[in-house]
Amino acid sequence: MAAKRTAPPPANPNPNRRRVTSAADDSASAPPSKRMLAFHFLRALSRIHSSTPVPRRTRTIRRAAYSSMARAASPRSAWSRALLRQVRVRRAVRSRRAVLMRRRVSAAPAPPLGASRSSVSAGQTSVAPPVRTPPPRQEGEPARADALRQLIPGGNGMEYCSLLEETADYVRCLRAQVQLMQGLVDLFSGQ
C-alpha cells in the first residue's frame, strides 16, 4: 500500500514516511520530454496559423504555449491539471460572453459585463476560478509563499510542501518551454 503512488497525496496521512528521492520520484519530477513539448506546441501553432486572424495571435500563441506545456507534462502534477482546468473555464466564460454580447447588441443596454470581462482580459495564467478559499497557512510557512501561490497555477489549494514540489516541476517545464520557443524563433528568423 505504501509502495503505490498513484496520485500525489496533498495531505500526507503518514508523516512517518520519508519522501526519499526514489526512482519513482525522479521519473515524476523529470522535465517533460522535448519531443512531447514540441509535438503539442507545433500542433497548436499550425492550428493557429491556419485559423486565427493576425491581430489576436500573440495572446492565442501564449495561451497555446501554456496549455501545450500543461498537456505535455505528467498529469500527476497538480499545476498542469489546474492549468488545463483554467483553459476550460476560460473557454466556457468566453463562449458565454459571446452569447451575452450578442444578446446585448440586439436588446436594450444589459447589465455590465465588467465582472466576466475583467477576469478574462486579465490574460494572466493566474486567473483563478470564481471562488476558491485558500487553506489556512501552515506553521513555519513564510509569508513569501503567498506570492508563490499566486504564480503557480492552482497554488492556492496546496499545502506548503506540495507547493514547493509543484514549483520545482513548474520551473523545469517552463524553462523547457522557453527553450523550445526560443529555438523556434531562432529557426524561423534564420530562414
Partner 1 sequence: MSSRRSRSRASSGGASRISDEQISDLVSKLQTLLPEARLRSNDRVPSARVLQETCSYIRSLHQEVDDLSDRLSELLATADVSTAQAAVIHSLLM
Residues that bind partner 1 (CB under 8 A): 11-13, 15, 18-19, 34-35, 38-39, 42, 45-46, 48-49, 54, 57-58, 61-62, 65-66, 125, 138-142, 144-145, 147-148, 151-152, 159-161, 164-165, 167-168, 170-172, 174-175, 177-178, 180-185, 187-189, 191
Q: How far is the CB of 2 from partner 1 (least distance, A)?
A: 16
Nearer to partner 1, 77 or 125 (CB): 125
Nearer to partner 1, 28 or 174 (CB): 174
Q: Is the dihedral of CA 120, 121, 125, 128 positive or negative?
A: negative
Q: How far is the CB of 1 from partner 1 (least distance, A)?
A: 18
Under 8 Å between Cβ of 155 and 125: no
Nearer to partner 1, 107 or 187 (CB): 187
Q: How far is the CB of 187 from partner 1 (least distance, A)?
A: 5
Nearer to partner 1, 96 or 175 (CB): 175
Q: How far is the CB of 107 from partner 1 (least distance, A)?
A: 35
Cα(70)–Cα(84) distance, rounded to whole angstroms? 7
Nearer to partner 1, 28 or 159 (CB): 159
Q: How far is the CB of 57 from partner 1 (least distance, A)?
A: 4
- Grid cell for residue 4: 503505490
